[in-house]
Structures are given as C-alpha cells and as structure tokens.
Amino acid sequence: MNVLLNDKNFIVELLQNSGYLDFSILNMIMKKKRPQINSGSKLALNQAILRGNPFMINALLENGDCNPFVRDAAGKSPIHIAAAKLNRDTFEKLIRTTGADPMMPDDDGNTFLHIMALGVIKDTEYDFIKQMVIRHGLRLTCNKEGKTPLNLIKTNAGVSIALRGQPNFKRKIGEFFEERLLQNPNF
C-alpha cells in the first residue's frame, strides 16, 4: 500500500496532525497491511525520528515496509536522522532489525561521522560517536570532497566554540580518531 498526499507519504501527514489514539488505529491498520513507508519527499520514518516519537518509530519499523537505504529529499536516511538526534536506541534498532549500514553516506558522501564533525561536539555527541565507532568497528571514510571526519575536525579545530557553558569536544574526538589510527592504520 503506497498513498501519497502532496508528494508526502500519508503517514507523514498523520505524524504532523495526530494524537495518540490515531497512532493506535494506525498500528492496527499497519499490522494488517504493511504500508510502503519509504516514499514521497519526506520519509515517514525520518519524520518519526525527528519528532522523537518512540511509539511511532517502533510501529513503523515493526509493521511498515522499511528500506533503510532510501533517502529523503534532503539526501538523509533514517540512520543519519537517528545519529543527529543522538537516539542510540533507534540507531541500534535500525542496524539490528533493518540491516541499515551505520556508515551509509548521504547525497554528499557524508556519513553520520562527517555530519557530526561539522557541528559543535558536546559531551553527549562525543559519547555517542565514541560508542558507535567502538561498538560497530567503524572506519573513517572520505566524502565526495575527499575529506574524512578527522580532516573536518582538524580544519575547524582552531575555531573555539562554546555553547551555553558546554566545551567543544572536537579536539577530544579528533584525538580519539588519531589514537584509533595509530592502533589500526586501516581505521
């Protein structure tokens, strides 16, 4: 079943305009007919992850026809959105249940590590990156510009940014990446 409204999957419309009871009804419908959730300019799973709705995320993953390799109009897949939201549970569930590749590049060749290296890295981002690299044995890869996340961090390391009293952990994650490179040159 694939229904588009204004180039959006009907589930995206439901996510924007619904309450808990609507999700219960949708869950019952989804158990009978597995809807295509990877269509339209906005992906329903991406929108559920952005909104932080664990009930809807689980319903989509368990009952929807989910393809983790499809990207939305902005070039982002569910794995990119889960990483940007630092949603460890969804990130792990995407890998475990759908076979999503944690190092899947977006349309610009950026993995979630590149995307996170471009922004401010606070302690929560540092912990997330470090845990995912260690847990999944991730390697540094080049984007379409030929830059690794470590290159991006080094390029922006001279810019000291503090966010509401939070230190920027870019230097610390850069040191972590360099340490991993010393241990394993193929990292």
Task: Write out the chain's pLDDT in tens, 187 residues.
Answer: 444 445 556 666 666 666 666 667 666 766 776 666 666 667 888 888 988 878 888 888 888 777 888 888 889 999 999 999 999 999 999 999 889 999 999 999 999 999 998 888 888 999 999 999 999 999 999 999 999 999 998 887 655 555 445 567 888 888 999 999 999 888 8
Are residues 122 and 70 part of one domain? no
Are residues 81 and 125 part of one domain? no
Are residues 19 and 90 part of one domain? yes
Q: 47: which 2 tokens?
A: 């929108």
Whether 116 and 83 have beta carbons less than 8 Å apart is answered as: yes
Q: Which domain holds residue 45?
A: 1-101
> What is the C-alpha separation between 183 and 181, in angstroms, rounded?
5
* Model pLDDT, residue 156: 72
Are residues 115 and 83 part of one domain? no
Single residue among 69, 101, 133 that ends a domain in this structure: 101
Are residues 66 and 119 part of one domain? no
Number of compact structural domains in the chain: 2
| CATH number of the domain enclosing 176 | 1.25.40.20
Distance set, CA 48 to CA 22, 96, 98, 101, 163 (Å): 14, 18, 16, 19, 27
* Model pLDDT, residue 129: 94
* Model pLDDT, residue 2: 45
Are residues 177 and 94 part of one domain? no
Q: 132: which 2 tokens?
A: 């995912």
Are residues 111 and 95 part of one domain? no
User: Which amino acid, residue 59?
Assistant: A
